[in-house]
Structure 1
């Protein structure tokens, strides 16, 4: 029996862009563009008759902007949405607003040479559609208000961390992909200032990770920053791997430090979760906790197994709370996962693991 095609609705006010996207997607035997719409009102009428598997949505459109339409869709009839817009180009906060509103992926659309740019990223676009079709989307509840940190907290760490030799024997390594931006927000905002150091690989293009880290830093009790080559890893701080570069953990004496390296994609990704996890296995061993979260593919599965073989504790996000249960599923299948937990329990797991380790050292 032939596999059903992924049905796509394209919403963009540019007729030429709609045609390019339709051609790119229909060239894939597993994808079918069921309809196109020039604005959200036309799309809404179409949705009354048929619900697509995936919607590709522009943000700049007449009568109603795409962000407003996205929020309405996710509140009333959630479907996987990919944003394709020039507003999401490098460094834009719009990208994070779209993820927060419920988008599962974003494909930037340059304002110049749009046709050529879209054709060049045709493989990326098709993969994004297939991944989005497997995403688990839910109605978006309004995020509770979170008091921002004082400016001094964002710039200067507490004196106890900066003036005494930090305890960095234990470290947390996290890997995530599709759905990870919001999932990481949920985890990091719940961690207290005295949490262990955390190094994170989130699959993201170059130019976006600094803005992503800054956004998280504004709502979390801990400090969140884009990782830099050679910097020490300190408690109460999370480090995001820069886009399009690999991040590794190194150990200098009693301290960990970060190494940022170029190189080919590993497990089809750069930064790669496998690269981070392997380095953690080599340099932290039983002093590391590996956490693999929502995402498509198998990046991190082999690295997590290596961590576990060398004594690390490991956790995987459960299927129910994942947007895409790909990376955790593969890590479980490889035998690298010690325990499966829901998204909302991950902060607690991190702190329990950290506290047990301190108690063991003290004892």
Structure 2
């Protein structure tokens, strides 16, 4: 049986990059380069007739930059994208913007010695494309699937067990989980909340170093305080804590108050931080004193955790398909019966405020 190949398009204004990257990808029998383009406008024209499974995109290009192109693609038809750019060094604003726009991974090109670098890094480019295709749950050959890490559940961090939440406390909490498209969705939600909103804990799938930048940016836009969580931080009204990239975040109880615990550990649902870990801890330690919200994102991280929250008495919400950049995570939560309500992104801030007022 012939295995379906991963269709790739390379978008870069450098003819050298297009040639070397295309040649590297073409050597992999599981990948087919279906086209190249010197800028995003040409790429969009070509994609009208044949849409790729994965895009490899530069940032600095004529007529439209790569970040704007990525946002356009994610809004029209979410497609796994690997950013390959000299501007996207780790920790830079360009790299942050790329990940915030939905890039699956980033390869940083050097400013000199480009050809030798691309040739030496050909295996990394191939690996990034394979991983990107898998991240969107597209069919891959068995050999590619075997390279993906085992998919662990939240049991790897916090065993399931009888809830230990107090029946009623003076503190309540809102737990949010999201992934692809979530940076924009979180900005839309959090900027509408008043300073009196309940304390919020958030897992946004994002690499280490980028969550602090993301939280800092949101903090400057919102009435509530937004910060990257530190171990032992208290959850209280007017504060949103974002799990640090590369670490899991759990909600714990300290007396009648809630705090977060930041821990290392294996990937859960191939993510660290994992939404399932946060949601399970919220189910266990907050129970009916919590509201759980799952928003746009690939895969199914958080689906089981939201079901556990609902079973523990929490109110739960899933973002609807029409307003999601990628409907994977909310869809799986709805299928499992974890979502008490399904609503558009525009309605979620109103629902959060209504929940706060109800409890008040």
Fold-level match, TM-score > 0.5? yes
Q: Note closer, same or farther for the CA distance 1:280–1:33 as it changes in structure 2 (3 Å cut).
A: same
1:40 Cα offset (Å): 4.6
Gaps of 5+ in 1: 135-166, 359-363
RMSD of aligned Cα (Å) = 3.2
1:256 Cα offset (Å): 0.7
- Mean alpha-carbon deviation: is it higher for 45-54 or for 218-227? 45-54
1:280 Cα offset (Å): 0.4
1:150 aligns with none
Q: Note closer, same or farther for the CA distance 1:337–1:179 as it changes in structure 2 (3 Å cut).
A: same
1:94 aligns with 94
Aligned partners of 2:86 and 2:53: how far apart in 1?
23
Preserved contact between residue 25 and residue 126 of structure 1 (Cα < 8 Å)? no
Correspondence 1:1-363 to 2 at 5 A: 7-12=7-12, 13=14, 15-16=16-17, 19-20=20-21, 23-24=24-25, 27=28, 29=30, 32-40=32-40, 43=43, 46=46, 52=52, 55-61=55-61, 63-64=62-63, 66-67=65-66, 70=69, 74=72, 78=76, 80=78, 82=81, 83-98=83-98, 103-111=101-109, 119-120=123-124, 122-129=126-133, 169-358=171-360
1:19 Cα offset (Å): 3.4
1:200 Cα offset (Å): 0.4
Aligned partners of 1:121 and 1:279: how far apart in 2?
37
Aligned partners of 2:67 and 2:253: how far apart in 1?
47
What do the CA deviations read for 1:280-311 (whole angstroms, capped 9, x no partner)?
A: 01110000111001111111111111111111
SS in 1 for 2:301: coil
Aligned partners of 1:22 and 1:172: how far apart in 2?
49
Preserved contact between residue 86 and residue 108 of structure 1 (Cα < 8 Å)? no
1:44 Cα offset (Å): 6.3
Aligned partners of 1:118 and 1:169: how far apart in 2?
52
- Mean alpha-carbon deviation: is it higher for 296-305 or for 109-118? 109-118
Aligned partners of 1:133 and 1:331: how far apart in 2?
16
- Mean alpha-carbon deviation: is it higher for 170-179 or for 51-60? 51-60
TM-score of the pair, normalised by structure 1: 0.77
SS in 2 for 1:191: coil
Aligned partners of 1:313 and 1:354: how far apart in 2?
12
Preserved contact between residue 274 and residue 300 of structure 1 (Cα < 8 Å)? yes
Q: Note closer, same or farther for the CA distance 1:115–1:194 as it changes in structure 2 (3 Å cut).
A: farther
Kindly tell me the number of residue pairs found equivalent between the two proteins. 320
Preserved contact between residue 304 and residue 331 of structure 1 (Cα < 8 Å)? yes
Q: Note closer, same or farther for the CA distance 1:28–1:256 as it changes in structure 2 (3 Å cut).
A: farther
Aligned partners of 2:194 and 2:9: how far apart in 1?
42
Aligned partners of 1:294 and 1:118: how far apart in 2?
32
Q: Note closer, same or farther for the CA distance 1:212–1:122 as it changes in structure 2 (3 Å cut).
A: farther
- Mean alpha-carbon deviation: is it higher for 78-87 or for 40-49? 40-49
Aligned partners of 1:342 and 1:3: how far apart in 2?
38
SS in 2 for 1:209: helix
2:156 aligns with none
1:43 Cα offset (Å): 4.0
